[in-house]
Chain A
């Protein structure tokens, strides 16, 4: 890793005043416009260290957010909402009783990425904002479109772990395992700006498709700090479930994952549905056709299968990842039934 200045921020506003840029911007300027001094923020530091060890990121200064108490807390709102500070670790979320009870898909998703050692350090904010794990993007020797190069190597290269939906220009899959669950649950995020003001947006609107901006995965503005993730109060009859399939049972990236949220009325008819696919597209991918197929119907095995078929109907697999479609189909049907039938 390169040498850098180390600073610990005691408060979010103090960190914002140090002029941090996003990791995407730091990577873009270091390869394109020498002369920009990049200050980046560190949460758990897992992705930051990974990028630095590969030589992909060479920040001049790192501002540590880890000691800021506000960012490390989970707080229950009076209205039944839940505010998760961006530096809460994945392990803390997976083990939190309220998360497990109310937002089951999130507890399931947070307990599975990487290894226990990593989940004890990796934060929810870092998980959402980490850079893609496409092996071409992570390779110093491949100057891909997302790094300012001329081509996406995945389309003609090795693409078995790449996107099967919405991959115009770049075939990365979004790296966050908690994002599909959080999007399905209707999470919002609180962003702190450099001037001290805060803005709230739906998490789903944060993510950028390659068509919108091929150099960034999210719409975080330079200087903005992700302060918290806010989960809405759960309405009666709402249940959620997360399913994933990897090549190994543990300690592996998913080849397919899905988070499902359904709201059932008393006779068991589905009134609201969210079906979000992960490891599927450059953003957490909303399977709208599957959601429409569920609404107004009882959550039977047949209806779950119909919705699962609808989820993959519009897919556009690459040369080496068509195998993902039956996997997604099976996971969607399974997640719908688990979500609907839990007590």
Chain B
């Protein structure tokens, strides 16, 4: 890797400078090889990073730009649009996925920062045709109306019932406290989560 300026870098830099954002002259000549440690670099001069992302048990090798969030990569290059993006600021939790089984807002995590950790999305929750107990309970309890917030809510509820065998209603409310549902399906969601916990317990 050398300090070659690509046309894209140049246009990007001059464009930014024209809008009043400081762009260092030195930045145009910086060796891109200094960056990308631990992330891999495509090495094709495109400024793309070659990463491997473990999503729903499969290793996916993709080339992305560093500023792409996990939500953008899931919905874009990986074509998994089950994960929804509402606010894109971590304020609605529609984009909730698991990273190493912990629910996170995928809009507030850079895809390049996921590293070795395993991502599970709504597409990876069912086992073949067999729905996850939380998914089945959402259907049984009519726990959605427009459905936009549903994938995120299901991921949060599923993480809770899998880690806590007997969640209280308070624990369920706490687990989904970050989720906004404009249709107001919350009471049905609480009931579905309680029901799913019982099913999982057997």
Does A81 sit within 8 A of B, measured CB to CB? no
Cβ-defined contact, B26 with A116, below 8 A: no
A156 at the interface (CB under 8 A from B): no
Interface size class of chain B, counting residues whose CB lies under 8 Å from the partner chain: 35 or more
Contact A35 B25 (CB under 8 A): yes
**Bound: A91/B34 CA distance, A:** 33
Interface size on A, residues (CB 8 A): 41
Check if B142 is an interface residue, CB within 8 A of chain A: no
- A330 CB–B CB distance under 8 Å: no
Residues of chain A contacted by B73 (CB below 8 angstroms):
none
B36 within 8 A of A: yes
**CB contact under 8 A between A5 and B35, given known A49-B69, A117-B93:** yes
A121 touches B105 (CB 8 A): yes
Asked if A219 is an interface residue, CB under 8 A from chain B, the answer is no
How many A-B residue contacts, CB cutoff 8 Å? 122
Q: Does A341 contact B (CB under 8 A)?
A: no
Whether A35 pairs with B24 at a CB distance below 8 angstroms is yes
CA distance A330 to B108 in the complex (A): 35
> Are A118 and B113 also in contact (CB < 8 A) when A7-B36, A33-B22 are?
no
Q: Which B residue's beta carbon lies closest to that of A6?
A: B66
- Which of A61-69, A225-233, A264-272 lines the interface with chain B? A61-69
B174 contacts A by Cβ under 8 Å: yes
Out of B39, B88, B90, which one reaches A118, CB within 8 Å?
B90
Tell me if A1 is interfacial: C-beta within 8 Å of chain B.
Answer: yes
Find out whether the CB atom of B47 lies under 8 angstroms from the CB atom of A3: yes
With CB as the reference atom, state the residue of chain A lying closest to B69: A49
Query: Per-position contact with A for B154-189: 1 when CB-CB < 8 Å, else 0?
Result: 001000000000000000011101110000000000
Which of B47, B49, B89, B112 contacts A50 (CB under 8 A)? B89
CB pair B178 A5 closer than 8 Å: no
Q: Which of A1, A34, A61, A114 contacts B23 (CB 8 A)?
A: A34
**8 Å CB interface, B33-88 against A:** 34-39, 47, 49, 65-67, 69, 88
13 new A-B contacts at CB < 8 Å, known A5-B34, A30-B21: A5-B36, A6-B39, A6-B110, A7-B36, A7-B38, A31-B22, A45-B109, A50-B108, A58-B21, A117-B93, A117-B104, A117-B105, A251-B178
